[in-house]
Amino acid sequence: MLFDVKSSTQRDIYNIVIGLVAPRPIALVSTLDPDGSVNAAPFSSYNYLSLDPPILGLGIQARNGATGELKDTARNIERAGEFVVNVVTEDIFRAMNVCAVDFPPGVSELEMAGLHAEPSSSVAVPRIREAHAALECRLFQTLQPGRGRIILGSVLAIHVEDRYVDPKGPYILAEELHAMGRMNGLGNYVRTRGAFEHLPRLSHAQWAAGERV
């Protein structure tokens, strides 16, 4: 099938793109609401986009419906200029899904999800205590391609529980972290536990010497 963007609905494009750009990491993003309470919501339109300096990107769509208003996360980041990406692993997977419920104003997603705020080291926005890793970010730039926002954040500090770091690298012990990935919407995710494939990269010299893996 061919999906021509001009003649497709927004919904079709959403369904097809998220099914093809997958699996995606999941950022459980904490921000501060105007009243100082902690907001938390998951975003899988998310990745690192630069390392020197380290910059993360978040794609935050406008809310469905005619008004197309901004989601609280985008509003909070634009106002306060800070956010924290909490890494979604197996053990906070269901809590992450609770944070995506459209609760009425005044209801704390963290409380509903059984999660707790923990002070960050370099931003006023707390990280989530139950997350094994978190990236503290300051707003670098906002792009406005349509009704939503592309948020670029400079990473100021990275928190990782010691047991998930091999200090020899340092490397993340990814096989033990058990990160989750999002697939085609429809509530479909992948686990990474026991799912690793090892494929070392070859230099040209190794290739030329006939090495294959």
Token readout for 206 is 């190794």
CB of 186 to ligand FMN, least distance (A): 11
> Cα separations (Å) of 35 from 38, 39, 117, 176?
9, 10, 15, 37
User: Does residue 86 belong to the site contacting ligand FMN (CB under 6 A)?
Assistant: no
Residue type, 205: A
User: Does residue 35 belong to the site contacting ligand FMN (CB under 6 A)?
Assistant: no
54-62, 150-158, 160-168, 191-199 -> range binding ligand FMN (CB under 6 A): 54-62
User: Does residue 26 belong to the site contacting ligand FMN (CB under 6 A)?
Assistant: yes
CB of 27 to ligand FMN, least distance (A): 8
Q: Within positions 88 to 117, which residues make up the interface with ligand FMN, using CB under 6 A?
A: 97, 100, 102
Which residue bears the tokens 């902690």? 38
Q: Is the omega angle on the peptide bond into residue 105 within 30 degrees of 0, that is, cis? A: no
Nearest CB to ligand FMN, comparing residues 44 and 120: 44
User: Does residue 182 belong to the site contacting ligand FMN (CB under 6 A)?
Assistant: yes
Decide: 134 and 40 in contact? Cβ < 8 Å: no
70-78, 120-128, 136-144, 161-169 -> range binding ligand FMN (CB under 6 A): 70-78
Decide: 29 and 84 in contact? Cβ < 8 Å: yes
User: Does residue 73 belong to the site contacting ligand FMN (CB under 6 A)?
Assistant: yes
d(CA 162, CA 174): 13
CB of 99 to ligand FMN, least distance (A): 7
| SS3 state of residue 26 | coil
User: Does residue 72 belong to the site contacting ligand FMN (CB under 6 A)?
Assistant: yes
CB of 95 to ligand FMN, least distance (A): 11
User: Does residue 45 belong to the site contacting ligand FMN (CB under 6 A)?
Assistant: yes
Q: Could you say which DSSP state residue 158 is in?
A: E
Q: Quick one: which of 119, 154, 122 has its CA closest to 138?
A: 154
Token readout for 130 is 């139950």
First-last CA distance in the chain: 35
Nearest CB to ligand FMN, comparing residues 158 and 190: 190
Question: Which residues contact ligand FMN (rule: CB under 6 A)?
Answer: 26, 39, 41-45, 59-61, 71-73, 97, 100, 102, 182
